[in-house]
């Protein structure tokens, strides 16, 4: 997506908000709902250091609390809010996922919104367009031992480490704070998309980044695809971490095939992520899912050391069984192989793996949602 076009489109967001605000009438009805998802899994991870057995939260779906409210203002205009925070089933703690500071209780989403036939405007902390562009191409939805997220790790990814430091929190990998968003309305023949701009507010360490991004998608029948572009300004260098790519899936009935290509660049570092995914229904109550991921690094570290040979690939397969409409059992096994001196790893294993080594992970868990 052309950055110039993106900036021009982003500038139109306030105008879209005015369109949404127009033609209002007296409120007709309102509602507030609460949902809870609780997920826990027993996990075994091994690497060059050794092995580790853990109980983890969120092997299939992030454990979380969700509060939502809507109000019908009449003439098709609706107002609402969405508050969503992480819960850790293994410890009973809350807030502060890997991409958010620990003080954020509503770390996943905290927005107010207005919508009508012209689309929707949201204000607050929300999923960014780049992440929403590729995350659903991953059969494991960025969670568990087989997650594509194993390659978006700042301790191992040179491009992300140079942008955000050795820890991924805070970052804009999946969400952005202080944002204004515009979503296209439904009824556009399958077209969908969003624009997001976020204020930097001069505090990267606290999770505030100047961010601009957009996504344009098409969803109709068995086909679903998106193109996306985003840029995060890093205050320490005034340079942008840029991410762009394309992702999509097609459901053949007997199997759903998905793929994504995401390119991340910052200063002299670059990482290209490839994914191929497969989901196969097994009867009416389960499905097998599998994926192949590859991370291809180019460029140099901050010390001007080449990372061209420091690549990685991952194979994963899992099974998910629906006990009921609320409860799911699941299991996944994955193998991640590094080349060069890369240190990507299956999560929850022993720390300090050797460069170029491999890791393996296996988990079995349960998710329930109400």
pLDDT, tens digit, for every residue of 61-91?
999 999 999 999 999 999 999 999 999 999 9
CA–CA dist 331, 348 (Å, integer): 16
Q: Which residues contact 279 (CB under 8 A, 6 or more apart)?
A: 139, 255, 256, 258, 287, 288, 289
pLDDT exceeds cutoff 70 at 98: no
Task: Report phi then psi at 73, rounded to 5.
Answer: -95, 0
Predicted pLDDT of residue 169? 75
Confidence of residue 13 (pLDDT cuts 50, 70, 90): very low
Q: Distance between CA 339 and CA 358 in Å, rounded?
A: 9
Question: Exposed, middle or buried by CB within 10 Å (0-12, 13-18, 19+), for 56?
Answer: buried
Name, in order, each residue with C-beta under 8 angstroms of 100's C-beta and a sequence gap of 6 or more: 86, 107, 108, 169, 170, 175, 207
- Domain of 364? 3-369
Task: Please give the pLDDT value at position 187.
Answer: 93
Domain CATH for 125: 2.40.160.10
Strand partners, 180: 123, 197
Percent of the chain exceeding pLDDT 90 equals 84
Going by their DSSP bridges, the two strands 210-220 and 223-234 should be labelled as antiparallel
b/e code 135-162 from CB counts within 10 Å (16+ = b):
bbbbbbbbbbbbbbbbbbbbebbbbbbb
Q: What is the mean pLDDT of residues 342-356?
A: 96
Q: How far apart are CA 297 and CA 243, in angstroms?
A: 14
Residue 48: closest CA among 362, 337, 296: 337
Residue 87: CB partners within 8 Å, gap ≥ 6?
36, 38, 57, 63, 64, 65, 93, 94
Q: Does residue 216 have a pLDDT over 80?
A: yes
pLDDT at 96: 64
What DSSP designation does 87 have?
B
- DSSP state string for 157-169: -HHHHHHH-SS--
In this predicted structure, what is the pLDDT of residue 95?
75
Residue pair 73/79 in contact (Cβ under 8 Å)? The answer is yes
The count of domains in the chain is 1
- The mean pLDDT of the chain is 91
Structure tokens at 328: 């799911």
CA dist 86 and 84 (Å) reads 7
CB atoms within 10 A of CB 54: 14
Instruction: Write the pLDDT tens digit of every residue in 290-321.
Output: 999 999 999 999 999 999 999 999 999 999 99
* pTM (2 d.p.): 0.89
């Amino acid at each position: 997506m052309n950055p110039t076009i993106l900036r021009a489109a982003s500038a139109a967001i306030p105008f879209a908000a005015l369109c949404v605000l127009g033609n209002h009438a007296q409120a007709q009805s309102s509602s507030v709902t609460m949902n809870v998802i609780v997920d826990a899994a027993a996990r075994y991870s091994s690497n060059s250091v050794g092995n580790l057995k853990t109980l983890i939260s969120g092997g299939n779906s992030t454990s979380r609390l969700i509060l939502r409210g809507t109000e019908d203002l009449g003439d098709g205009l609706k107002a609402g809010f969405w508050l969503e925070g992480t819960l850790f089933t293994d410890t009973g703690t809350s807030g502060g996922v890997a991409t958010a500071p620990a003080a954020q209780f509503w770390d996943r989403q905290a927005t107010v919104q207005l919508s009508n036939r012209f689309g929707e405007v949201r204000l607050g902390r929300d999923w960014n367009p780049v992440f929403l562009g590729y995350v659903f191409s991953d059969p494991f939805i960025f969670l568990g031992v087989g997650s594509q997220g194993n390659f978006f790790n700042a301790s191992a990814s040179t491009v992300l480490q140079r942008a955000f430091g050795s820890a991924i929190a805070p970052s804009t990998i999946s969400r952005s704070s202080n944002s204004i968003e515009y979503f296209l309305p439904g009824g556009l023949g399958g077209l969908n998309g969003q624009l997001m701009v976020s204020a930097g507010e001069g505090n990267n360490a606290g999770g505030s980044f100047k961010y601009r991004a957009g996504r344009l998608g098409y969803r109709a029948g068995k086909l679903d695809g998106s193109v996306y572009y985003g840029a995060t300004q890093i205050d320490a260098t005034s340079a942008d971490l840029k991410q762009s790519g394309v992702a999509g899936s097609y459901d053949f009935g007997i199997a759903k095939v998905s793929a994504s290509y995401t390119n991340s660049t910052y200063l002299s570092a670059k990482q290209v992520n490839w994914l191929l995914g497969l989901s196969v229904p097994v009867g009416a109550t389960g499905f097998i899912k599998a994926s192949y991921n590859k991370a291809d690094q180019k460029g140099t570290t901050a010390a001007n050391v080449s990372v061209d040979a420091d690549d990685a690939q991952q194979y994963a397969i899992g099974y998910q069984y629906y006990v009921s409409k609320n409860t799911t059992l699941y299991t996944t096994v994955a193998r991640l192989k590094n080349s060069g001196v890369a240190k990507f790893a299956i999560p929850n294993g022993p720390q300090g793996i050797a460069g170029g080594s491999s890791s393996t992970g296996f988990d079995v868990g349960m998710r329930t949602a109400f």
